[in-house]
Structure 1
Amino acid sequence: MIKKTLAAAIMIGACGPVMAGEFDQHVKACHDAAWAQEEFKDIPNAGVSAYPGGYDDKIFYSYWIIDWDDVQVAGKCTMELNSPKLLQLIDFRKK
């Protein structure tokens, strides 16, 4: 029982300010926006990942990574906090 409680406490702490599932639609919107870029059109879904980053009063941000064959790119999406409307897609190579 102690091991299960400890494991649950560690998992909750690892989630940080964004709990698992809370912003699934936001993360999916970021994933899809990154994948929709013309230069990534031939990369399969398995090569694109997105992760929750955090939020403030109005903005949610998510990080995306594309790692497939010889393509390794990362970036960030900013979205409205209350809806998964993309405000900005940032490619860290172009920053």
Structure 2
Amino acid sequence: MEKECPGVVSCADIVALAAHDSVSYPFNRSMWDVLTGRRDGRISLESEASVHLPSPFANFTGLSQLFASKGLDLNDLVALSVHIQLGWHIVVHL
């Protein structure tokens, strides 16, 4: 993909599109819009992650406040938390 579209399509785009298509396919319609493109930058910095990601020791109040500061609500918090928990469950039991 990088050869055909240099600097345009990221691995994250491919994963996001694959997830979208696999969930949407059984319903024969798009379940959500997928934004693609390298809008978030081309590098990752530990200093930014420690500011923007919750601590593994964060309680519910802290998590809900952090999500709210990013424009996310309780539904987003629950959905992401369940998704992460299920992912760990699958990894541990493989």
Give the alignment's TM-score, normalised by structure 2: 0.25
The one of the two structures with greater contact order (alpha-carbon pairs below 8 A, sep at least 6) is 1
Q: Which has the higher strand share?
A: 1
Q: Which has the higher helix share?
A: 2
Give the alignment's TM-score, normalised by structure 1: 0.25
For the pair shown, which has the larger CA radius of gyration, 1 or 2?
A: 2
